């Protein structure tokens, strides 16, 4: 990877955001020309456009766009983690890669002691959270905007991934995504700005 793209970050991409976050956004994997290039989740690819615009509208980011890992963007009350830390072949992680990388997620999630909501972006993220917490998939089926109580003070909220494919086919609209982020804020005990529609 580094030989083909010598200017790319091309390492495992670290999580990004507030270490005391109440809202944990769980993504899929670094995009080949996005986070794999920049070194920050959802930065430099299409999926990050809707994500960071929505976080800004929710008052969770200090600016509406993420351009590079050294820009002044900061998150407050939110943190982004990925199910897979390295860019997968064909930009789609295989089940074995997801299982191998899950140890990192399983170690990170308990360390985020302020977490009240996991917002799982897509089925892979949803299942990665369940695997990390040793919970059965059969008990927590994935569906957009579905809520799952994982513990007394912890909920997982599902969303379709904010990928180019999902937004261009309108499987996920901007309004749908804003609504699910508004609900995540509500569940996490964070303010829900008027700029975001309620669920």
Domain of residue 96, residue span: 16-188
Q: Is the dihedral of CA 62, 64, 70, 76 positive or negative?
A: positive
Question: What's the whole-number mean pLDDT along residues 14-41?
Answer: 95
Q: What digits encode the pLDDT tens for the residues 77-124? A: 999 999 999 988 877 888 899 999 999 999 999 999 999 999 999 999
What does the pLDDT read at residue 199? 44
In a domain, 195, yes or no: no
Phi, psi of 163 (to 5 degrees): -75, 165
Residue 152 has pLDDT above 70, yes or no: yes
Q: Which residue has the higher pLDDT, 181 or 4?
A: 181
Mean pLDDT computed over 169-180? 96
Q: Which residues sit opposite 148 in a β-bridge?
A: 156
Structural domain includes residue 162: yes
The answer as to whether 198 is a domain residue is no
Q: What is the CATH number of the domain that holds 88?
A: 3.40.470.10
- Is 164 inside a domain boundary? yes
Contact 27, 52 (CB under 8 A): no
Domain count, the chain: 1
Asked whether residue 6 is domain-assigned, the answer is no
pLDDT at position 94, please?
86
* Residue at 32 is within a domain: yes
Report if residue 27 sits inside a domain.
yes
């Amino acid at each position: 990877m580094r030989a083909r793209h010598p200017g790319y970050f091309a390492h495992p991409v670290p999580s990004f955001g507030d270490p005391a976050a109440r809202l944990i956004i769980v993504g899929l994997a670094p995009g080949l020309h996005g986070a794999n290039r920049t070194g920050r989740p959802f930065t430099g690819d299409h999926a990050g456009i809707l994500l960071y615009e929505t976080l800004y509208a929710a008052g969770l980011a200090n600016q509406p766009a993420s351009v590079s890992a050294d820009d002044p963007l900061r998150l407050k009350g939110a943190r982004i983690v990925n199910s897979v830390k390295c860019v997968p072949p064909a930009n789609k992680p295989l089940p074995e890669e997801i299982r191998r990388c899950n140890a990192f997620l399983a170690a990170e999630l308990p360390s985020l002691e302020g977490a009240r909501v996991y917002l799982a972006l897509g089925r892979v993220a949803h299942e990665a959270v369940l695997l990390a917490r040793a919970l059965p998939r059969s008990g927590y089926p994935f569906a957009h905007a579905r809520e799952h109580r994982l513990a007394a003070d912890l909920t997982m909220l599902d969303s379709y991934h904010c990928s180019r494919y999902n937004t261009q086919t309108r499987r996920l609209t901007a309004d749908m995504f804003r609504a699910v982020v508004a609900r995540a804020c509500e569940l996490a005990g964070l303010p829900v700005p008027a700029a975001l529609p309620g669920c």
